Structures are given as C-alpha cells and as structure tokens.
Structure 1
C-alpha cells in the first residue's frame, strides 16, 4: 500500500516541537545546575556542622533525584500537551494535575531510592532512607512545587508562542446592535498577534488541521491556531465550500486542484499552493460528490 507523504507547511507543529525541545534543554540545565549547587552547599554545611558525609554520597543523593525527575519530565510535558489548562477547562483538569503530582512524588521517591541503594551497595556502604512516611511528605512538599512550576512554564511558553505566531478567535457579536455577520457561520476570524488584531476572511482559509486542543487554520502559507475541535469548526463552515477530507483535515474545495487515488480507497489531495494532504477512504466519496455539485453523501463508518 502506497503511503501518502506527510503534508508540508505545518509550521505550528514544528514550532511546538521546537519549543518543547528548548524546554527539555532548559529543564536539564535547571535541574543539573540545582543539583550541583545543592551538592556544594550541603558539602559546606557538612563541614561547618561536623556532619560525617562523603562528597560522593551527597552528590549521589542529589543527582539520583535529578535523574529520576528528568526521566519523568517528557511524560509531564506530554500531559500538558494533552490536557492544557484554559479558562474553561482548568477547574475540571486541575485535580488531574494534583493527582499527577502525587504520582510524580511516588515514582520520584521509589526511583531515587532504588538508584541510591544500587550506588551505595556498589560502594560497600549501607543505605538507610529513614522513615518512608516522612520521606514521602518531605519530597511531596518539594515535588508539588516542581510539577506546577513546570506546568506553569509550559503554558507560558506555549501562550507566548501562539501570540507570536498569531492566534485566531471567532469574532464576537457587538455590544450594541445586530451582529455584522451570522454568529453561527462567521465570515471572518480575528487573529491576535503581538498585541495587534488582524481580520482573516473565512474564504481565505485553505484548509484546517486538527492539532490537539486547537485547529490550525491555513491562510496564505501561514498557520493560525484556533482553540476549537475540528468537528465544532466544521459545523460553523459552509458545507458547500469546506469539506471534510480526513479525520484531521477540512479543505476548501476551491483550493483542491487534483484528487490522486491510492490503494484501499484512499487518496491524496493536491492543493493550489503545491501542498499534498491526505484524504481517507471514509471521506473520499463525499468530497468527490460535493466537488461534482451533487451534495454530500454520508461518510463511511
């Protein structure tokens, strides 16, 4: 079976992955720097107060904690991707992050204790973690702050990235008088970019691509994220102009220059700007029917 190529021009997806890589690098530097600083200060405290502790033991305690935290970091960032906190979702999702912080703490304590046990035994020294209950309480008071600092930083970076790129919004009805357009079928979208507002005509949207909790609107070679689901956006667009082509794509028919059949009933859509988008078997016949002016047909299950 011939595989359709990945569609080009997904700037928002690439920018998001780039920001995520930067965040991982940032947190690696932050955690490692903290571990080095804590090792040095604990070494000085041990010397000052006459506490018997080898430098390798202090370093082991600090760096095992950092290592386990960094191993869990990608999962926390993925959770931020999957369940971002917005004004309309934070009350429902915040308890999930609290539960996640408890899981983070439990895995953190278990992981670093196992690593410390291995290192200490390799050095022929007994490892005594002390009271597990007190250790969990002590670590959780630190871990809940760590988790929510990471979550807050992720949201801040993503918000700024969308502001730089330009985030789309449905135009609201005016405070006084009738709306300038039907609210159920908007003719324009408002794009806010670095404090400036731009109007984007619905007719200029070449396609829309689902991306997590957002839909990327493709307009003249640029992507603008709209906080919506693809299904919700589909109900707001003219079905004679915009047609579902894939579970992740809605396309404007006028921008489709050719439909290339593939094996198993799938197809490739060649767009006016040279991009190639996937068309699944489920939506292919409906798209061809609308393109021929016969109206939509039910999508296959």
Structure 2
C-alpha cells in the first residue's frame, strides 16, 4: 500500500511557514529520517507553534506507511495523536489537526477491526464462504495492513474468486465483465508486493500485460501500468538497462493500445499516471543511464502534464535535469 503514502492531496500544514531547516527536511522526505529530524529541530529550538507541531505529527504518522503493519500503525498513530492532542489543547478548533486526527483514528479502528475479523474467520474454510462473503472479506483485508497473516488469507480469497466467479454475467439490463482479469491482477499484486513470492507472481504479471481482451484492460487500465511498473522497478534494482528500456517502451505501447480502443468508442485518452516514489526511481535510473531517447519517453509519458504529484525536492531537481537534457 505504499502506492498511497500521503493520505491527503495537500499537506495539512503550511510548508511556507515552516522554519527553513524543517522545510528542507520535508522537501527531501525519507521514512523515519524526516520525522526524527523535525523532532530534533523542534526540541533544540523549543518550537511550539501549531503548524510546525502538525508537520511533525504528520510525518510521524507517515512512518506507519513504510511497513503498514498493524503494530506500526498503532505505534506511529499513538505517537502522532499525542502531538495532535498538544495542538488541540491550545487550539481546540484547529481544523487541519482535527482532520488528521480523524484519519488516524479511522485507520487504527481498521486495524482493530481486522484483527477481530481475522480471529473470527481465519479457522473457517474459505470454501464454506459464499462468493459474496469471500469478496467482501478479500476487499476488507486489502484495506487493512501488510501483515502476512492477512495477506496470505487475502491471496487465497482472490484465488477462489478467480477460479469460481463467472468472467461475464448480465442482469438483463447491464453486462458486467472482466472479473478474471481483475482477480488475476489482485492475486499477482498480493503475491509480489505483500508476500514477496516473486517467482510465482512473475508469470501472472506477464499474463496481465499480454491479456488478449483490450476491453478488460481498458476497464482496469491501472492494473496494466501496475504490472509493468513492478517489473520496471525490479529492472532498476537489478541495474538491468536493457530490460528497463524495453519495459518503459512496453508500458507506453500498452497504453497506446488501450487509448486506440477508447478512441474507437469515442472516449477520451487516458494519461499514464505513476505515483511519486516509483516515478522518481524510474527517472533517477533513466538519468543514470543517460539515454536521451529513453529520458524523453519517460518525461513525455510518465510525467505528461506533470500529473504526478511531486513533493520530493530530489525528484523535482531530476525533472529539471531531464527537461534540460531533452530540450
């Protein structure tokens, strides 16, 4: 779930009003490092204004997004809520703090609820659940934490749905389709991202990428980009320049096929959108390779119209470097 690190579109605090050293830490965000550096500045400079304290609470909470285990969410959440309580003690109606407080409390409730649900259902054979119960349980577990006990059960539930739920059905008024593709995407994602069973997931990712029905792929286009993205990031980790270039071109090609299909339906073009951290890693590696054609493709398609929400100062600098190289 690291694909949704920041819970809000905008920071709940005002970056411009932060002390310069804390503002730099925010611009060069890193898990754990940023929150500790902010705390150090607050303690050493005896800072107590609500904006700075909320910034600290926010990044303490964001640390829970690094692992997203139940224990991490409970621990980081408790620490962040203590800081927020200090703010609200002085300003009871401080709306940004109340917003973050509610969000954290809701996430903590999910963890407690997940634990209770897991305790209730984990000994019940999956086959004894109805397909509706299996799907509800799978969706719920996908929204909880990355603890292995949850993810193994989630994987088994998606697998059952893939094997048993009809790929297409009609209500007589509307046709629903693409279930096999969707559940396969869920299965591969849990195997790769959560259970780290890469060799099991790899052929499933390629099955998704080469799915024969563009109608299904268009309906769930994010899953095509997600599948290719996972393989691109693996190529980055392995420093495999040839595979990296092949996969970035493949990503663009697949979205081209989807958009061609959409054009035939009279639909507008989809923009390929990656989140900040994976987009940053891909751009960084492209710059290290120095292939101008590849850099241009990445900037033109992965950062088209700057639809990626970039907060990290290092990524912004890399974008400037890339634009200078291809201009």
TM superposition score normalised by structure 1: 0.30
Please state which structure has a larger fraction of its residues in strand. 1
- Name the structure, 1 or 2, with higher relative contact order (CA <8 Å, separation 6+): 1
Please state which structure has a larger fraction of its residues in helix. 2
Structure with max Cα Rg: 1
